[in-house]
Structure 1
Amino acid sequence: MQLGHLAVSIGQAYRALDHRSARSAMAVQMPEDSLLATKGVAAAMADSTWRNVKAKQAGETCVRGFMADYFATPDNWDVKTSANRVLGALNGWLYAQSRQMVQGNYISSFSGLVLRGRVGHLFHMGDTLVFRLRGAEFEQLNREHTTLLGGYRYPSRALGMDPSLDIDFMEFNLKQGDIFLMTTQSVKGTLMPSDFVQLIRQYSQDLHQACDMILEKAVEKASARGYSSQNFCFQLVRVDQLPAETDNTLGEVYSSLPLPVELSEGEEVDGYRINEVLSRSQTSRIYAVTDMSSGREMVLKAPAPQLSQRRDFLAHFIMQQWLLERVQSPYVAKAVDVSRPRSCLYFLMERVHGIPLEQWCAEHPQADLKTRLDLIEQLVKAVRALHRRDVLHQRLTPDNLLVDGQGMLKLIDFAVATVPSLPDLPAPLTLVRSAGLTPYSAPEYRLGREPGPRSDQFSIAAIAYEVLCGHKPYAGQLENMQSKVDFTRLHYEPSCQYNPMIPAWMDGALRKALQPNPELRYRRLSEFIYDLKKPNPDFTAPADAPLLERNPLAFWKILSALLLILLLVTWWS
């Protein structure tokens, strides 16, 4: 199949005895146009262990995750940077999921092959196998990483096995006619190198048929030798045509893009007219723009000109677009992918028409608890979408939450969001301190301690507290806290003191999520929002407690009724 300047052909074959024994996954993705130039063609093979009850899910998650995220990386990242960061983020997620499982895990061997321009890139972890057939030479490109335990051979250095990731990387020039074979450890002991070469040569006109014949031969030999496992997975990728040596990829062009100068209303850049300057901060410039060709309204975000020498902050800026493209949620602003060439460094986002959450609260003072809780739940869903991608937001405030006319909330700013597991980026604390702390920042930022998902939880709870009762928690206290001892003296004011309609169990949920010690907060955001909507017995006042504590709403209804009766009696007497 010919795609632009680089043309490849593929073949695949897979066999598992039954659905329960399936443990391998494979895929090839061949994009078109500019994406082919910037990202190339990617092939992946993953294989988990046969004793893993989550083997099938592990392999499929690795392959799908890599394919989806690699092609969403910024254009000016090279192949190695893109793949390493994608695999680092994927490894962190897999490792976190495995730690929460009682049975099975998300550990999997993985090999990823990227062909871009005239160069091949191989990324490998575990014991999957990658071979190259070039002319008469058939060689294994990667090294298997295995460990022998109890007479069984297990993969080592695999995805999801350890919080840190050790990736084997290999870069090599491509030649027209190169054929790459990707397979799994189960083929060991069945086929010889000569078998592969013979079958690939014999069925070179149809690589799918070649894979089918390789599979048939492997099953035949496995049966003859009495192998109990007959799970086989084969994938062939052949280079049919290479681009001209003088061709430049878009990625190479974007890697040297200059920072844009200060832009003003009415000016144009790459066909986008500046309608309004939305923000000028220490790290970025944000403009409302219109695409002159389509009339579409968007938001253009560019680095601040003074960051031209700060490579770490520029790397973080470039990563923001990738974060937006990875996170799929109706409550998170989306990145806009426009394939036209760029003359300077920026990215585009959808334009969200709405008002800041703080303004919405001021304009809707009579909104009931149900409406306010609905906005809080939307915020939780937005942040959970980030956390599922191992992203910390770190700067949740009412100002970066917009509410539209239908009451839908959307998170729009990601200036200090980060993936802690990715290398070569500013540390989370460095990003937050560069932007400055807010009244919604978790105490650990002030103490200089490593933040985590529960730090975002604190910010959500602080916003929820303000939305529900109109005041900030710990108002006037956080700013003066400098040590752990200081934080033990924080005094929590119950939200029901400001809004009598808030029941004690709802305030209990807020109090727990606003604990100065992150270990005392909720383990998951889903638990927090559940307790905000449903009474938790742990936060319910005892039966002998005053009615005002047990049910403030009922108390005020009864009091209002009594006052009305007294008024009527006074009027009639």
Structure 2
Amino acid sequence: MASRLTVSVGQASDKGVKAVNQDFFGTRIPEDHLLESKGIAIALADGISSSDVSQIASAAAVRGFLDDYYCTSEAWSVKKSALQVLLASNSWLYAQSRQSQYRSDMNRGYVCTFSGLIVKSATAHLFHAGDSRIYRIQGNTLEQLTTDHRYYISEDKSYLTRAMGMGQQLDLDYQSFALNSGDTFIFATDGIYEFVSHSFVTDTVKALSEDLNAAAQQILTTALDNGSDDNLTIQIVRIDQLPAASNEDIYQQLTELPFPPELNPRDEFDGYRIERKIHSSPRSHVYVASDNETGQKVILKTPSGELRENAAYLERFLMEEWIARRIDSAHVLKPVKNNRRPNFLYVVTEFIEGITLDQWMRDNPEPSLQAVREIIEQVARGLRAFHRLEMLHQDLKPDNIMIDSTGTVKIIDFGSTRVAGIMEIDTPIERLELLGTAQYAAPEYFLGHSGSVPSDVFSLAVITYQMLSGRLPYGLDIARTHTAKAQNRLRYTPIHHLDEETPVPRWVDETLRKALELEPHKRYQDADEFVFDLSHPNKTFLSQKKPPLIERNPVQFWQGISLVLAIAVILLLYRDLTS
């Protein structure tokens, strides 16, 4: 039997003399094929004493790293996968500080150090920012592998120069190196390494090699006895066995996963049986398939072979899988865990028995306001899951929304999603190949601007307007406007103008008007605000007077003006003739 990667781990942590332990640590050792394809992850984060919320940052950084790393595509390298996750976590932490009372002083916000190690096959990959440390035991000495990102003003005064959440951009140290069986790594915060000697650490680990938890606890206790004035955390990780690299493993490391062959009904593919193709485009192919082991029905999405040389397209395709795995919402499509190591590039997600919102709208051309609210509220919950993780959907439209047999609404496509801190996809416009798709995009995209949460709110409001009226708020014109001047000529068409008999209250119309403002800062700033006002009369809208005729019916207004002018001309001519 081929050898497997195995490690021994010892850990200890204590708040010490502090009131709260702001350190956080963790190790994840997968038991399935991910052990081979992704490896073992170890992480340590240290909060900063100037912050009262730094322990939240430490926990988020470590948990995010250990969870999200295993959600990334198995076709990605270790470096790429880990960096994507850490950049996204950094942006989330930075955003929390910017949105809190600590925005004027980031040293009091959601900031922490981070030191992580991925052990895959016979290679270690190290990621680091801050002054927590990773050492490697070399004989009887400790070799410090990380650099302290701390600037000393004086012997007693210093400050961190790099940390998670400190800035919008994250500057991480990265290095990789070969491993040997028996290599031992020490992760430690300053509450440990400043209060015990290197020789004591190596002697303790050697003496208690059969119980690394006991070794970690003894080192921590000694640091505390020696006057440690900070939180104390230590992890000891020993490489017990390295996997034997087969020819297949070496080949996999040197090449990317191949594109799938063309698939047809009844084909056997990577442990799945293809049932039918449900969508095909120049960008991807989507099939209904069943898992041969479990019988579970799934959706299998494969990339288009025509784009195998398009690196940007492949990035987006693989990002979809990671995004789906990060989000946990009943209103967002869920990925299906594959317990087998994939041999091709593809994505597997849950099968939804239902119809798209586009089909629902055709089946229900005159829905009740309550039916529309129930659907839009569920879509908004799905959007909230994106926004909470600092992600923008950017391509919300009826074709990307499913309604299952129980009435649950789910967002099903993430091909244009932008993750804060990762600029793989700046704008969805390049993907909007059909004019009909572009009608749901926020106007700022057509000016070349980046999107924001109000951009997704705009798309949600377009769908709401279309469900209630059967039309688009700006017709087909918005996709043709590529300058601010052209957009300024656009006019929102109130639903009441389309049909005076409509049962939609005027305050709902005003809610839509606000959500569909052409300038992002004038819109609702999150989907929850919009959905609330869609169901609860906003006092501001109730107190508004009836809009002037030029806003309610511009054509009728100018027809009236023309009639008045015509009458005036006739009167002037008559006066001239009779004078």
TM-score w.r.t. length of structure 1: 0.88
Change in Cα spacing, 1:314 to 1:208, as seen in structure 2 (3 Å) is same
C-alpha distance in 1 between matches for 2:490 and 2:19: 54
Contact 1:37 1:116 in 2 (8 A): yes
C-alpha distance in 2 between matches for 1:231 and 1:482: 55
Residues 1:121 and 2:135 aligned together: no
1:505-559 CA-partner distances (Å, limit 9, x unpaired): 32222212211111222222222222222222222234x769xxxxxxxxxxxxx
Give the C-alpha shift of residue 256 in structure 1.
2.2
Contact 2:453 2:525 in 1 (8 A): no
| 2:330 counterpart residue number | 330
Residues 1:529 and 2:531 aligned together: yes
Aligned residue type for 2:110: Y
Q: Secondary structure at the match of 1:33?
A: coil
Q: Secondary structure at the match of 2:282?
A: coil
Give the C-alpha shift of residue 353 in structure 1.
1.1
Q: Secondary structure at the match of 2:302?
A: strand
| 2:315 counterpart residue number | 315
Change in Cα spacing, 1:534 to 1:438, as seen in structure 2 (3 Å) is same
Aligned residue type for 1:125: A
1:325-383 CA-partner distances (Å, limit 9, x unpaired): 11111111111122324343211111111112132233335643222111101111111
Change in Cα spacing, 1:466 to 1:190, as seen in structure 2 (3 Å) is same
Q: Secondary structure at the match of 2:465?
A: helix
Contact 2:429 2:438 in 1 (8 A): no
* Identity level (%): 36
Aligned residue type for 1:299: I
| 2:414 counterpart residue number | 414
C-alpha distance in 2 between matches for 1:254 and 1:404: 42
C-alpha distance in 1 between matches for 2:109 and 2:528: 22
C-alpha distance in 1 between matches for 2:7 and 2:332: 37
Give the C-alpha shift of residue 321 in structure 1.
1.0
Could you tell me which of 165, 169, 179 is aligned with 2:170? 165
Could you tell me which of 138, 146, 152 is aligned with 2:142? 138
Contact 1:76 1:255 in 2 (8 A): no
C-alpha distance in 2 between matches for 1:170 and 1:504: 61
| 2:76 counterpart residue number | 77
C-alpha distance in 2 between matches for 1:332 and 1:404: 12
| 2:257 counterpart residue number | 257
| 1:514 counterpart residue number | 516
| 1:50 counterpart residue number | 49
| 2:292 counterpart residue number | 292
Contact 1:27 1:63 in 2 (8 A): yes
Q: Secondary structure at the match of 1:273?
A: strand
Contact 1:4 1:33 in 2 (8 A): no
| 2:38 counterpart residue number | 39
| 2:111 counterpart residue number | 107
1:282-314 CA-partner distances (Å, limit 9, x unpaired): 211111222334332211111111101112211
Aligned residue type for 2:143: E
| 1:566 counterpart residue number | none
Give the C-alpha shift of residue 247 in structure 1.
6.8
C-alpha distance in 1 between matches for 2:157 and 2:377: 48
Change in Cα spacing, 1:247 to 1:19, as seen in structure 2 (3 Å) is farther
1:423-465 CA-partner distances (Å, limit 9, x unpaired): 5x35435643567652111112221222222221111110111
Residues 1:9 and 2:8 aligned together: yes
Give the C-alpha shift of residue 16 in structure 1.
0.8
Contact 1:76 1:251 in 2 (8 A): no
C-alpha distance in 1 between matches for 2:69 and 2:373: 37
Change in Cα spacing, 1:47 to 1:250, as seen in structure 2 (3 Å) is farther
| 1:481 counterpart residue number | 481
Contact 1:420 1:427 in 2 (8 A): no
| 2:568 counterpart residue number | none
| 1:550 counterpart residue number | none
Residues 1:65 and 2:69 aligned together: no
Residues 1:93 and 2:97 aligned together: no
Report the more deviating stretch, 281-290 or 14-23.
14-23
Change in Cα spacing, 1:242 to 1:323, as seen in structure 2 (3 Å) is same
Contact 2:18 2:230 in 1 (8 A): no
| 1:234 counterpart residue number | 234
Give the C-alpha shift of residue 59 in structure 1.
0.7
C-alpha distance in 1 between matches for 2:230 and 2:212: 21
Contact 1:132 1:138 in 2 (8 A): yes
Q: Secondary structure at the match of 1:171?
A: strand
Change in Cα spacing, 1:269 to 1:487, as seen in structure 2 (3 Å) is same
Residues 1:301 and 2:301 aligned together: yes
| 1:455 counterpart residue number | 455
Report the more deviating stretch, 197-206 or 89-98.
197-206
Give the C-alpha shift of residue 253 in structure 1.
6.2
Give the C-alpha shift of residue 130 in structure 1.
0.8
Change in Cα spacing, 1:182 to 1:412, as seen in structure 2 (3 Å) is same
Contact 2:79 2:125 in 1 (8 A): yes
| 2:559 counterpart residue number | none
Q: How does 1:362-401 map to 2 (within 5 A)?
A: 362-365=362-365, 367-401=367-401
Give the C-alpha shift of residue 251 in structure 1.
9.9
C-alpha distance in 2 between matches for 1:323 and 1:192: 44
Q: Secondary structure at the match of 2:418?
A: coil
Residues 1:187 and 2:187 aligned together: no
C-alpha distance in 2 between matches for 1:545 and 1:86: 51
Change in Cα spacing, 1:320 to 1:442, as seen in structure 2 (3 Å) is same
C-alpha distance in 2 between matches for 1:420 and 1:190: 39
C-alpha distance in 1 between matches for 2:241 and 2:152: 42
C-alpha distance in 1 between matches for 2:434 and 2:159: 46
Q: Secondary structure at the match of 2:136?
A: strand
C-alpha distance in 1 between matches for 2:546 and 2:72: 57
| 2:550 counterpart residue number | none
1:44-69 CA-partner distances (Å, limit 9, x unpaired): 00011112110211111111111110
Aligned residue type for 1:219: L
C-alpha distance in 2 between matches for 1:102 and 1:4: 53
Aligned residue type for 2:295: G
Report the more deviating stretch, 42-51 or 468-477.
468-477
| 1:205 counterpart residue number | 210
Change in Cα spacing, 1:27 to 1:431, as seen in structure 2 (3 Å) is farther
C-alpha distance in 1 between matches for 2:420 and 2:251: 25
Give the C-alpha shift of residue 272 in structure 1.
2.5
Pairwise CA RMSD = 2.5
C-alpha distance in 2 between matches for 1:332 and 1:255: 33
Aligned residue type for 2:98: R
C-alpha distance in 2 between matches for 1:76 and 1:319: 11
| 1:505 counterpart residue number | 507
Contact 1:429 1:448 in 2 (8 A): no
Q: Secondary structure at the match of 2:289?
A: strand
Aligned residue type for 1:145: H
